[in-house]
Amino acid sequence: MRLLEIRDLKKHFPVGEGLFSRNKGAVKAVDGVSLSVEEGETLGIVGESGCGKSTLARVLVGLQRPSAGTVSFRGQDLRSLSRRVVGSSAAMVFQDPSTALNRRLPVRKLLRDPLDVHRRGTPRERDERVRALLAQVGLPRGAADLLPGQLSGGQRQRVAIARALALEPDLLVADEPTSALDVSVRAQILNLLLDLKDRLGLSMVFVSHDIQTVRRMSDRVVTMYLGRIVESTPAEAVPHRARHPYTRALFSATPGLLSPIDPIPLVGPVPSATRPPSGCPFRTRCWKASARCAEAMPPVDADGEHLVRCYHPVPDGTTDVELIGQSTSQERS
């Protein structure tokens, strides 16, 4: 059953609208995105910094209103739902727990606040819920009396996850949940999220620039570039069966334990989010780009669950070595 559906979503931020400045247009952070999340599914969203991943995540949980388009939760438009309903149906785990948690409040208060605001149960039941949440994320009871500053980074992120789960949401949006943590604790937090997803039957949107982590966590992977989705594919299809040149380049630049980085080089300038190029937004850096790519955004080419927007998709069976050779040849020419 479909839990979340987005159609032609746009989120633009005006630039230079001050009293003494000229209007310089708008940053098109999200520009015409359509996607869906099924119940129990984890959707991974990847892309370089500035591609619109975090903005999209904030729109999904109602923290930012879209400029255009629709976000439907269980068939109901998000804008028609009260903030109380949205807050209890979808929750977010932010990138840095040090800034996401009020450092002046003890953990007990941080976890109980959502319960108090939404008037969930009696005071005694709320206290019991706080204890249950701590146990759920692997923290001892004594952590309830501590301030965030008295916890390690991994413990703080466990508190942030517990707070997101306080109202028993159906959808958990995790925005770079391990990027601010030490390498030694990242795997623990990722394993916790996977365990919670299975035990609680959660749907999840997992946002990260770490391609390998997204592949491990997700059922389906969406690639964003300059505010647009350029590919959507089952997680097991990446990296070697990904068909968009940008997706292949992203994965080739990810370090592996057994092999050195041998990235597919990208040529050309990174375009501006206020003045994106015509047609395909990736064409200014793509070694396969042609005049046709500048005319219009490529339509969606669907092959089962694999969707790609590209006039020149990577053929099946093409290796990274071959793509590196193609890119290098184009750069020389």
d(CA 34, CA 20): 37
Helix (H, G, I), strand (E, B) or coil at 229: strand
Q: How far are the Cα atoms of 53, 112, 284, 323 from residue 46, in angstroms, in the given order?
A: 7, 33, 20, 20
d(CA 39, CA 197): 11
State the SS3 of 67-132: CEEEEEECCEEHHHCCHHHHHHHEEEECCCHHHHCCCCCCHHHHHHHHHHHCCCCCHHHHHHHHHH
d(CA 144, CA 130): 8
CA 22 to chain centroid: 33
Sheet holding 171-175, edge to edge: 90-93, 171-175, 203-207, 42-46, 220-225, 228-234, 306-308, 301-303
Helix (H, G, I), strand (E, B) or coil at 34: strand
Question: Dmax over Cα atoms in the chain, in whole Å?
Answer: 72
Fold topology of 2-221:
Rossmann fold (3.40.50)
Specify the residue for token string 């193609």. Answer: 326
d(CA 144, CA 161): 14
Whether the model pTM is above 0.95: no
CB 44 within 8 A of CB 218: yes
Query: What is the identity of the amino acid at 41?
Result: E
- What residues does each domain of the chain span? 2-221, 243-332
Helix (H, G, I), strand (E, B) or coil at 13: strand
pLDDT for residue 258: 45
d(CA 177, CA 205): 11
CB 73 within 8 A of CB 36: no
* Helical residues (DSSP H) of the chain, grouped into ranges: 53-60, 83-89, 97-100, 107-117, 123-136, 153-165, 183-200, 211-217, 245-252, 320-332
CB 183 within 8 A of CB 213: no
Return per-residue pLDDT of the chain as tens, 333 residues.
789 999 999 999 988 655 555 556 789 999 999 999 999 999 999 998 889 999 999 999 888 999 999 999 888 888 777 666 777 789 999 988 888 899 999 999 999 999 999 999 999 999 999 999 999 999 999 999 999 999 999 999 999 999 999 999 999 999 999 887 888 899 999 999 999 999 999 999 999 888 788 888 999 999 999 999 999 999 999 888 999 999 999 888 776 544 556 788 887 778 888 888 999 999 999 999 999 999 999 999 998 889 999 999 999 888 888 888 887 776 655
